[in-house]
């Protein structure tokens, strides 16, 4: 049914585009605006899909659906711009992050302040059903011609799972709906739910941005727990939260989670035949670790791997393959702990004898040495050598502390009976 609806949407979009192209010029309608980073190929170029994908037809269909949705999104903006006599978007109001905080108590959620945030948040939901990042919802509703993104007036980041985007807005809508039920909140949550399903790759993983934006954004993205957040959101839906979700939607969520976990296991990096952990980004077709921003080099990551393992640990009746994956990740994290340092996001690394454990964010594949980089992309092995990216990035992490505590409890309940691991 969803495929039929998708094909109908494509037909409608093509007809609409042909009818309006002479009158309206959609912003950046011809393709991604971001330049490919040096050495980072077009990950989903057709020749790569045909030569590397197990099921090229499914991937090419996915690409077409992404293009059709991008066209729909841009035509909505083009129509708005025409209606107000403008030719370009303006940026949305900026905020460092939108996140669920401790102040969002039931009492606060019942307040007019919370209602105002929710109402504004609804207006910033993109036509595709997702949300962008770094939006200040306290500044009022989105106006015609205003981008869904705050850091640029270009056509980028229109909807994403980066920085907890989309999943965090969906969680907020569930919270406020539980205190002040509103059919608009439920409708918006469902649109976000459909966005997550639509964005899932044929292999079960997720890109950072959908509709696709090109460059490293097309990589399978574990960075900043993007995929983990999506899996957790869909797992909630599969388990009956929200309670008003229909059986077919729960089944869709369950299937998406199962496919997502399979892709996560397929992406777990293998060394000498043994699974280890994951990178921040993986090639969507080969599932090998790859790079992202210039200072996010191809590597294995302790932070995202720890949080991904925490999600896997929660799975009921884990298969032998899943159990082996969890054990491999847990043992890798235990063996890569560092001591003698503390780390603060704002002030950096500090030598502190006896401190620890702590982990580097990134480890070099092949040597397991911690690695770092400034914006020039040059690999460094000493945090003290950093200059322009020295602060403001989580080069070290404590995330494995909680993950390993949970792992030890899990391991006692799931003893290793295999002689082949």
Q: pLDDT (tens digit, 9 = 90+) per residue, 56-80?
A: 999 999 999 999 999 999 999 999 9
| pLDDT at 27 > cutoff 70 | no
pLDDT class of 419 with cuts at 50, 70, 90: low
Residue 49 has pLDDT above 90, yes or no: yes
- Tell me the pLDDT tens digit for each residue of 249-284: 999 999 999 999 999 999 999 998 999 999 999 999
The percentage of residues in the chain with a pLDDT greater than 90, rounded to a whole number, is 88
Active site residue 223: no
Residue 343 CB-density burial (10 A; 0-12 exposed, 13-18 middle, 19+ buried): buried
Taking the C-alpha atoms of residue 71 and residue 75, their distance in angstroms, rounded to an integer, is: 6
pTM of the full structure:
0.90
The yes-or-no verdict on residue 365 having pLDDT over 80 is yes
Selected catalytic residue, list 40, 120, 163, 203 = 163
Which of the following is catalytic: 25, 67, 293, 390?
Answer: 293
Bridge partners of 160, per DSSP, are: 209
Give the pLDDT band (50/70/90) at residue 243.
very high
Q: Prior bond to 211 cis, omega within 30? A: yes
Residue 412 annotated to the active site:
no
272 and 260 in contact (C-beta within 8 Å)? no
Contact by Cβ (8 Å): 202, 285? no
Beta bridge partners of 350: 342
């Amino acid at each position: 049914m969803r495929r039929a609806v998708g094909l109908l949407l494509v037909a409608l979009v093509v007809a609409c585009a042909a009818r309006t192209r002479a009158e309206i010029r959609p912003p950046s309608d011809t393709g991604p605006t971001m330049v490919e980073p040096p050495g980072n190929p077009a990950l989903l170029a057709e020749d790569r899909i045909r030569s590397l994908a197990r099921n090229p037809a499914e991937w090419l269909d996915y690409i077409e659906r992404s293009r059709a949705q991008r066209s729909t999104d841009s035509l909505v903006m083009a129509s708005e711009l025409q209606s107000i006599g403008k030719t370009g978007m303006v940026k949305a109001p900026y905020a460092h992050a939108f996140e669920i905080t401790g102040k969002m108590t039931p009492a606060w959620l019942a307040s007019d302040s919370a209602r105002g945030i929710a109402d504004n948040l609804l207006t910033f939901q993109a036509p595709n059903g997702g949300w962008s990042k770094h939006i200040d919802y306290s500044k009022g509703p989105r106006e015609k011609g205003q981008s869904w993104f705050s850091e640029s007036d270009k056509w980028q980041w229109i909807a994403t799972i980066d920085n907890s985007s989309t999943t965090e807005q969906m969680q907020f809508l569930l919270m406020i709906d539980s205190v002040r039920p509103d059919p608009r909140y439920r409708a918006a949550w469902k649109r976000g739910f459909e966005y997550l399903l639509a964005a899932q790759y044929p292999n079960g993983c997720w890109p950072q941005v959908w509709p696709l934006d090109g460059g490293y954004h097309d990589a399978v993205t574990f960075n900043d727990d993007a995929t983990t957040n999506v899996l957790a959101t869909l797992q909630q839906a599969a388990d009956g939260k929200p309670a008003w979700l229909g059986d077919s939607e729960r089944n869709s969520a369950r299937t998406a989670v199962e496919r997502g976990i399979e892709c996560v296991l397929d992406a777990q990096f293998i060394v000498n035949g043994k699974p280890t952990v994951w990178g921040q980004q993986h090639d969507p077709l080969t599932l090998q670790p790859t790079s992202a921003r210039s200072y996010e080099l191809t590597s294995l990551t302790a932070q995202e791997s720890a949080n991904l393992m925490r999600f896997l640990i929660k799975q009921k009746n884990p298969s032998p393959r899943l159990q082996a994956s969890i054990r491999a990740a847990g043992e890798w994290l235990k063996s890569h702990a560092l001591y003698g340092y503390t780390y603060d996001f704002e002030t950096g690394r500090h030598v502190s004898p006896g401190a620890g454990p702590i982990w580097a964010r990134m480890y070099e594949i092949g040597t397991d040495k911690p690695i770092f980089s400034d914006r020039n992309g040059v690999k460094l092995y000493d945090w003290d050598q950093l200059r322009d990216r020295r602060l403001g990035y989580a080069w070290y992490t404590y995330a494995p502390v909680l993950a390993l505590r949970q792992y030890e409890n899990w391991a006692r309940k799931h003893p290793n009976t295999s002689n082949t691991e």
